[in-house]
Each structure stands twice: as C-alpha cells, then as structure tokens.
Amino acid sequence: MDVLRDTPPEVLPATALTLATAGDTTLPEVRDAADGCRACDLWARATQTVFGAGPVPARLMLVGEQPGDQEDVVGEPFVGPAGRVLDEALEAAGIDREQAFVTNVVKHFKWKPSPGGKRRLHETPNRREVGACLPWVESEVRLVRPEVLVTMGATAAAGLLGPSVKVTRDHGTPVASELAPLVVPTIHPSAILRARDRPSREAMLAGFVDDLRQVAARLR
C-alpha cells in the first residue's frame, strides 16, 4: 500500500492506526508496515518485528508485554517458555489457542547481555517505548475486533488500560474499556515462571487459569 510505504518510519504506527480505523487496510499490510517501524530505538537490537498471530477477526485477543528471546528469533509471539505456560493455562481453561489472536503491546525484544555476555536478558520496556508501539496493537484491535480482550501482566495493562489497574489486585476483574465488550487483566505467564517457590507458582497459575475460565464462560 503506497500510503504506508511512503510514510516516514518514525510515524508509521500512527498512520497504520488511522488506516486500520478507517477500515482501509488489512492485517498483513499493517504487519508488513510494522517491519519498518523506527518509532523508538528497540528495532536496532532486535532480530525482527514480532507482530500478532491468529485469526482475523477473532472473538478472543490475548495481549502480552513484548517478544522474548525465542520469539525474537522465530518471529511469532509466545512460542518460548512463557508460551508453554500460556498453552497449559489455555488448555486447563478449555480455550483453543488456534481460535485466539495472540500479540504483545511492544513488538521488539528489549534486552541486555548477561554478565558473561552469553545470554540476552529481558528488560522491561519503558513508558516511551510502550507509547511509541501502542498504535500497532491498537491497529490490531481495530482489525481483530475481539469480543474479549485479555491483557497479561503489568506492561500490557498499563499500556492499554491505564496506570490505575494493578494486576495483583485486579486480575480477573473486568475493566470498562472501548477496546472490547469484555476486557480482563490477568497475570503474565512469565511472572508465573519467575515465582519464588513452588507454592507461589502454583497459586499464580491457578489464578491465571481461573481468569481464563471466566473468559471461556463468556465465549461459550
């Protein structure tokens, strides 16, 4: 599409959102445009832009924080360890991942080298980086038109629902939002992996599955 190709890379996200809102563009076109995004500096150290994946439209949209190490290499969201926790929880809740559109609020992997320099360690994106990327996920919402939108973790909740939502306190409680008829913040699968001990991990996983069961009930 000429408009997107001719848009300067730093203003691409906002242009793509305008076109998606007007119904003038498709998800593959927006995804291709996101490959050239330079609205923040994260692209420079990432392997590629990791856009959302799944059916369009979809009744359920799941939004995480940013691609991890494996997602950055493969180019798809939630295919690494956090993705396996997500798959386990979705299955326990009776939700078919194939029916959901899965994405992140930030489309590039932000990382720093481990002390030995051998591994890439996740770094949380800052507010400016989330803000720069937000039009991409908003474009996805416009095109996917989910009936239920689930934010996973603090970064997705803050980016899409505002700073007043606290995941530990509010997970599982629907939030009024124009993004979808039902919007539910929940726990991030990576937080479950990082839990300090087994009982905490099991409790967090149970909370995550409970939130997803509520979603499954709505979708039935």
Residues that bind ligand URA (CB under 6 A): 64-68, 71, 77-78, 80, 82, 104, 190
Q: Which is closer to ligand URA, CB of 87 or CB of 170?
A: 87
Shortest distance, position 150 Cβ to ligand URA, whole Å: 12
Q: Which is closer to ligand URA, CB of 82 or CB of 150?
A: 82
Residue nearest to ligand URA (CB): 64
φ, ψ at 125 (rounded to 5°): -65, 145
Shortest distance, position 68 Cβ to ligand URA, whole Å: 4
Q: How far apart are CA 155 and CA 14, in angstroms?
A: 20
Shortest distance, position 122 Cβ to ligand URA, whole Å: 8
Q: Which is closer to ligand URA, CB of 15 or CB of 78?
A: 78
Q: Which is closer to ligand URA, CB of 15 or CB of 155?
A: 155
Which among 103, 102, 106 has a CA at the least distance from the CA of 135? 106
Shortest distance, position 5 Cβ to ligand URA, whole Å: 27
Q: Which is closer to ligand URA, CB of 19 or CB of 82?
A: 82
Which among 3, 28, 48, 2 has a CA at the least distance from the CA of 140? 28
CA atoms within 13 A on the CB side of 109: 24
Element (H, E) at 152: strand 148-152
CA atoms within 13 A on the CB side of 55: 10
HEC letters along 175-190 = CCCCCCCEEEEECCHH
DSSP 17: H
Shortest distance, position 82 Cβ to ligand URA, whole Å: 4
